[in-house]
A and B are shown apart, each in its own frame.
Chain A
Amino acid sequence: MSPQHRVAIVGGGLWGRALASAAARAGSEVTLISRREEAPPEGVSASRDFSSATPARIVLLAVPSKHAVATAHELGPHLDGGHFLIHGVRGLVGEGLSTICEAIRRETPARRMGALGGPVLAAELAAGSPSLMVIGSRFREVIEAVREGFGSPGLRLYGTRDLTGLEWASALSGCFAVAIGYALESGLGPGLVGAFTTRTVHEAARIAVAAGGDQATMLGLAGLGDLLAAVGQGGRPEVTFGRALARGESIERAKSELGERIEALTLLPKLGAWTVAHGVRAPITHAIVEGLFQGVPREEVVRELMNAPFGADE
């Protein structure tokens, strides 16, 4: 039995609450910092004040990517170099697509940073169903601490030192999960869905490597694992969203039906531009952007992909 960890979770949405439950189940002393009125999950104390993060060692940011920098900025005065600052944000920010860790680095004194990823839904995690996640950090002690602070018989945490690769894999698999929903609804047969998923993973790996990550990370839990889950999961919001778009629904309508935030929606067009700027071949990204945002009919999107020129390594 390792000593008890003190964990502060910033962000009271579904994801933040699920992570708070997981940490409480792991025996950690957990504070959920949120401005919402809802009662905290069982075994978790609530606070509305960022200063409640000070006594914690592990501080986890679980807010939408567009609020990550501002939240970290408010959190900054309450942290020092002893805090392990991790996040569970699936996204990349700014036009240059910075990872969340890159974007928040200057906001706080914390240096030992990390990110969570992997194929797990908030609802499953909250319910304590057996789940797997990945903790990425360049610091081994952060991986160890998060494993102790969050891991339990119901939650296994794999570790990677490839933080950049993990952050990109999380964001990319979110984007491509929309694509997979779109493909599923487009009436592709199982063979073609499998093929499409595989090519998607290859493309994501090319992108992740260009961004400074390891290919292997995209082929692991946070990339391939997450996309396989997308193929199988009915409840995954990105997949539902992709399906709705393939049916010809407008983005606005699909969004309002879902009632949940889709990070991929803002990210996909930026990703398209990023791959062009970095000379990464990304036919699937471009086809999906055309299909989703430029009203290209889905038959046309499929035809385009089937006729895309081969890359040198294919």
Chain B
Amino acid sequence: MNQGAPIFHFNEARASIVEEVVDRVTARAKDPLTLLGDAIYNEVRRLTASSSNHPGLAEWRALARRLHTMSASDQKDELRRLAKHHAWDVAGNFNPRVYGVATRLMPPVLGAIVAPLATATSLRRLVDAAALADRIAIDGHVAHVSSLVEKGTIVYVPTHLSNMDSIVFGYALDRAGLPPATYGAGKNLFTNPVLSFFMHNLGAYKVDRRLRHTLYKDVLKTYSTVLIERGYHSLFFPGGTRSRSGGVERRLKLGLAGTGIEAFARTGGEGASHAKRVFFVPATISYLVTLEAETLISDFLQEAGKHRYIIEDDESSRVEKVAAFANKLLRHDGGVVIRFGEPLDPFGNRVDHEGRSLDGQGRVVDGLSYVRNRFGKITIDADRDAQYTRELGEAICQSFLRHTVVLATHLTAAVMMNRLRRAAETDDLFALLRVRQRVAVPRLEVAAEIAALRDTLLAMEKNNEVVVGASLRAASGEAILREAIRAWQGTHTTPVVEEQGSEVWIGDASLVFYYQNRLAAHGLALDVLAPKREGAAA
């Protein structure tokens, strides 16, 4: 492992990063009064909603009273004080010792259960690291990504299904010989009894989604920009939150990932010696079973608009659930597959092994030309960059589709849901979920349909449209069905699919829906998730 990556010296650089963030945010604030007013308004609203006598309330209210009598320079000072407070709150930690231990002793989830209490030695006794290496498969454009590690900053943008993702992904980076990446994790993960240890020690920084005011968002975005500029490889989940449906993200928020363009433009600006390149690496994380599937899908199925944005009490915070899940992973080869897509520049162009941007015809194009304005000057233009980011998002979504790894559970669920649709003669999701009678299907038919769907997927794979999991490629339909059922058993509180004698039927239609959604965007499963067309009249 290359210990030269900036992340290994993060803790020494932290104060100077925070200082730079505060300086930039303060310097950019043209109108401190409005920013302060916005912060007061949002915080008072939030704190009042949580409790009428929240201790923070008095402070905000006192500031509100003082605000209009403050001089311009007092306002600026107050802004700086708040920016500093938030920036320190955001700033993460990186503990090289923990990093070493955690990555050597995967699966991370198992480590997570014991790590807060155990020492490295006792951990080592628990787990045979070599045997675990097979459980998490890593493939795709790994060599291409490696070739770019020292040529610029890498921004990983994977799909997001589980709170395990950041840890599993961190492990995958290490396994692939890539330096660790810093990432913004929801503040709730820092209080999650299972995951907090990793969050605090593996270079995560805190994102408090409850804070809605502009100043906080400025601090967060600037923090991310500065990290990318300084060469800290970063990890963002561009979907924003875990996929509630189980489907591959088709519309991205990008949010912080959009800071990649600003970071790139800044390092290439006037007076800079040379631009620091920024590479986006889309990746898919595919699980045979998702730890939080039950909570996520039930949240998805809540009436529109009632989704919980932050879920604090799901399976990932319950030790016994995580332990059971970890055991599952241990018993299945390739139960988790991390697949790296082709690296992109911040404008959605492909890049070569030298890190140069390539246009649609494969010609080298100067990345900086995209951030020059109509008079040829390099600029930071929020409107322009938002549009580039949108286009980058489209390129990332296409990569997600191409690199979706289909596993036994997805395939089996798609076949079972298809049978349910035929039996119920409807494609209306809520009608399907309410079907009460048992739709029993002869096992031989299920196996045959699984094999047929796998063959369709293999044909699509030839056109680079999807990836078929290693264990499915040559397996019989029956073997795939067995693998799926074995994986589901004991993972979820209700059986996803049940079997008796020569018949198979759906045990939990919501979970079948959840797992089949992985294939929805490919047109191979019930698709109730298709996003509304871009630009359609609101």
Which positions in A face B, CB cutoff 8 Å? Answer: 3, 5, 57-58, 73, 76-77, 80-82, 84, 105-109, 111-112, 138-141, 144-145, 162, 164-165, 209-210, 212-216
Residue tally, chain B, CB below 8 Å to A: 30
B535 touches A82 (CB 8 A): no
Report the bound CA distance from A136 to B359 in whole Å.
Answer: 23
A145 touches B387 (CB 8 A): no
Q: Which residue of A has the minimal Cβ distance to B375?
A: A3
Q: Which chain A residues border B369 with CB–CB below 8 Å?
A: 80-82, 109
Q: Which chain B residues border A141 with CB–CB below 8 Å?
A: 373-374, 381, 383-384
Report the bound CA distance from A138 to B393 in whole Å.
Answer: 15
Q: Which residue of A has the minimal Cβ distance to B382?
A: A140
A212 touches B363 (CB 8 A): no
CB pairs A–B below 8 angstroms (6 shown): A5-B374, A73-B361, A76-B361, A138-B390, A140-B383, A212-B534
Give which listed residue, A77, A144, A212, contacts B533 with CB less than 8 A.
A212
Interface string of B369-393 (1 = CB under 8 A from A): 1101111100001011001101100
* B333: min CB distance to chain A, Å: 39
Q: Which residue of B has the minimal Cβ distance to A146?
A: B374
Report the bound CA distance from A58 to B383 in whole Å.
Answer: 19
A214 touches B370 (CB 8 A): no
A80-B365, A139-B387 are known contacts; what are 18 more A-B pairs with Cβ within 8 Å? A57-B375, A73-B361, A76-B361, A80-B369, A81-B369, A108-B360, A109-B359, A112-B384, A140-B383, A141-B373, A141-B381, A144-B374, A162-B535, A165-B535, A209-B536, A212-B535, A212-B536, A213-B535
B537 touches A111 (CB 8 A): no
B363 touches A84 (CB 8 A): no
Report the bound CA distance from A65 to B300 in whole Å.
Answer: 45
Report the bound CA distance from A76 to B365 in whole Å.
Answer: 11
Q: Which residue of A has the minimal Cβ distance to B372?
A: A82
Q: Is B303 an interface residue (CB 8 A)?
A: no
Report the bound CA distance from A210 to B535 in whole Å.
Answer: 10
Give which listed residue, B347, B361, B381, contacts A111 with CB less than 8 A.
B347
Q: Is B367 an interface residue (CB 8 A)?
A: yes
Report the bound CA distance from A139 to B374 in whole Å.
Answer: 12
Closest 7 CB pairs of A and B: A106-B360, A81-B369, A109-B359, A81-B370, A82-B369, A109-B365, A80-B369
* B373: min CB distance to chain A, Å: 6
Report the bound CA distance from A5 to B381 in whole Å.
Answer: 20
A80 touches B366 (CB 8 A): yes
User: Given that A141-B381, A216-B537 are known contacts, is A82 also in contact with B360, CB under 8 Å in the complex?
Assistant: no
Q: Which residue of A has the minimal Cβ distance to B379?
A: A141
User: Given that A76-B361, A82-B376, A109-B365 are known contacts, is A215 also in contact with B384, CB under 8 Å in the complex?
Assistant: no
Q: Which chain A residues border B365 with CB–CB below 8 Å?
A: 80-81, 109
* B151: min CB distance to chain A, Å: 19
Give which listed residue, B360, B366, B534, B537, contacts A215 with CB less than 8 A.
B537
B533 touches A140 (CB 8 A): no
A107 touches B361 (CB 8 A): yes
A111 touches B535 (CB 8 A): no
Q: Which chain A residues border B388 with CB–CB below 8 Å?
A: 111
Report the bound CA distance from A215 to B372 in whole Å.
Answer: 33
Which positions in B face A, CB cutoff 8 Å? Answer: 347-349, 359-361, 363, 365-370, 372-376, 381, 383-384, 387-388, 390-391, 533-537
Q: Which residue of A has the minimal Cβ distance to B391?
A: A111
Report the bound CA distance from A108 to B391 in whole Å.
Answer: 16
A164 touches B361 (CB 8 A): no
Q: Which chain B residues border A162 with CB–CB below 8 Å?
A: 535
Report the bound CA distance from A111 to B395 in whole Å.
Answer: 13
Report the bound CA distance from A177 to B376 in whole Å.
Answer: 41
Report the bound CA distance from A212 to B394 in whole Å.
Answer: 15
Report the bound CA distance from A164 to B535 in whole Å.
Answer: 8
Q: Which chain B residues border A214 with CB–CB below 8 Å?
A: 535-537
Report the bound CA distance from A209 to B534 in whole Å.
Answer: 10
Report the bound CA distance from A197 to B534 in whole Å.
Answer: 28
B536 touches A111 (CB 8 A): no
* A76: min CB distance to chain B, Å: 6
Q: Which chain B residues border A215 with CB–CB below 8 Å?
A: 537
Q: Which chain B residues border A58 with CB–CB below 8 Å?
A: 374
B360 touches A105 (CB 8 A): yes
B370 touches A209 (CB 8 A): no
Report the bound CA distance from A85 to B251 in whole Å.
Answer: 26
Report the bound CA distance from A22 to B469 in whole Å.
Answer: 59
Report the bound CA distance from A30 to B533 in whole Å.
Answer: 38
Report the bound CA distance from A162 to B534 in whole Å.
Answer: 10
Report the bound CA distance from A210 to B384 in whole Å.
Answer: 26
Report the bound CA distance from A281 to B14 in whole Å.
Answer: 60
Q: Which chain A residues border B383 with CB–CB below 8 Å?
A: 139-141
A81 touches B360 (CB 8 A): no
Q: Which residue of A has the minimal Cβ distance to B378?
A: A82
A82 touches B370 (CB 8 A): yes
Q: Which residue of A has the minimal Cβ distance to B534?
A: A212
Report the bound CA distance from A141 to B359 in whole Å.
Answer: 21
Among A76, A81, A140, A212, chain B packs the most CB atoms within 10 A around the CB of A81
Report the bound CA distance from A57 to B347 in whole Å.
Answer: 19
Q: Which chain B residues border A212 with CB–CB below 8 Å?
A: 533-536
Report the bound CA distance from A139 to B387 in whole Å.
Answer: 7
B374 touches A81 (CB 8 A): no
Q: Which residue of B has the minimal Cβ distance to A144?
A: B374
Q: Which chain A residues border B535 with CB–CB below 8 Å?
A: 162, 164-165, 212-214
Q: Which chain B residues border A213 with CB–CB below 8 Å?
A: 535
